[in-house]
Structure 1
């Protein structure tokens, strides 16, 4: 079985990949299951009813998912391709400590239409990582510490998610190179302990390969720590935004997880993890 649990489509501000094309390509690639997880980033982007508040990126307003169109479109695609593909409905929530109430309102309205949600920290104090705005003016230690402390604060006060996305994301945008795991080990252990206590999981994000990172994301030290702390809920996702990303490295990551001692990986059904043997 192959399942890709981190996909972006035309409903994300950073993708034009049509839902129908994602489904057809997934079938062509022999994927059995996908979960579409388009972006919501309160603090940075407004909802579609306030385009005048949106930042302009490449000439277009950057907006959150249009929920009123998104969930019906996914439901229609799920039914249309049901013979050949299982499609689950999700979101990627770019949570910050000060935006938690917005996500609580969001899930109160839409959780019944969903199977799954990724919790990611893409920015701190509304400063983006991918632009370098957050790192600018800080030392490598300062922005790494601030990132993990923000993530700990978020998971300590918010549980409306299924898995943590690309837990060591800051590595992807670190101009100084890879910051040693041991320097943030204690706070990462606190994060994982809270995740496990809340019955949540983590993802392995296969975009590490296309970003040229030297290890998995999260790194093998984090995956080993999660395992040692008793964590068992692991999803695998490509973080696809384009056809060439879809389904990439899923089988390879499962082999890496098996080598680390994991015996199962997960999909989700109605917010509940479904465990699959690592070799199935």
Structure 2
């Protein structure tokens, strides 16, 4: 089973990849299942958010066309902040999502990739505040499937590697919370594109998650174009097996499905 569970197309503001072309590519490279996870980020990019009505319409059209060739799932990536939870709740209540990635792309309406969030803070301050925000959100909001790219702040940290042990207590509390709530995490293979010398999340986080009893884990390329699709998924499955995981998960109607490694 090869499934890509983090995929963006024309319905995300940072992609122009047509959904149908994405599906054709997925079939070509031998993927069995594809979950689209278009962007919603209230608070910062409200005018650029996915048009859920049009997204749903195109998804259903494509699903009917390709249902005999690949399994397609209707997902979303919620870039939630503690102060925007209600807007996401409304979207979740209105649309029949199969899968929801809960991500942290910004804090206090300040994005990471622009350095707006990090500016004026020490490395310790912005690293801790990032994880504190995630913890706040998951204590307020429960309608999601997995946490996306959990240590993504590393991608935009110009100060270099921040010691895992210094943020381990926060990460451990996050992982205990999601395990208790029946949620999971993803391995986001964009780490290979960004030149990070580790997985996202890190091997340290994956080991901690496993040791705490975490089982639900998905793999997604975070693709925005054809060259990203399915990236390193087979290799990551092997790594997860070596780390002691027994399955990777897919979702249908928000229900996790274990696919043995």
TM-score of the two chains, using structure 1 as the length reference: 0.92
CA distance in 2, matches of 1:172, 1:75: 34
RMSD of aligned Cα (Å): 0.7
Partner of 1:49: none
List alignment gaps of at least 5 residues for structure 2: none
Q: Shift of residue 68 of structure 1?
A: 1.1
1:97-154 CA deviation, whole Å, 9 max, x = no partner?
A: 00001111111111x2x10000000000000001111011111111001000001101
Q: Shift of residue 165 of structure 1?
A: 0.1
Q: 2:182 aligns with which of 181, 195, 199?
A: 199
3-state SS in 1 of match to 2:192: helix
Q: Please show how residues 88-99 of structure 1 align to structure 2 within 5 Å.
A: 88-99=73-84
Query: Is 2:24 the partner of 1:41?
Result: no
Query: Is 2:90 the partner of 1:105?
Result: yes
CA distance in 1, matches of 2:256, 2:161: 32
CA distance in 2, matches of 1:177, 1:74: 40
Q: Shift of residue 76 of structure 1?
A: 1.2
Q: Shift of residue 200 of structure 1?
A: 0.5
Partner of 1:4: 4
Partner of 2:67: 82
Query: Is 2:50 the partner of 1:65?
Result: yes
Partner of 1:269: 252
Moved over 2 A (4+): none
Query: Is 2:179 the partner of 1:208?
Result: no
Partner of 1:148: 131
Partner of 1:57: none
3-state SS in 1 of match to 2:49: coil
Q: Shift of residue 96 of structure 1?
A: 0.2
The alignment of Structure 1 onto Structure 2 pairs a total of residues equal to: 261
Partner of 1:27: 27
Q: Shift of residue 78 of structure 1?
A: 1.1
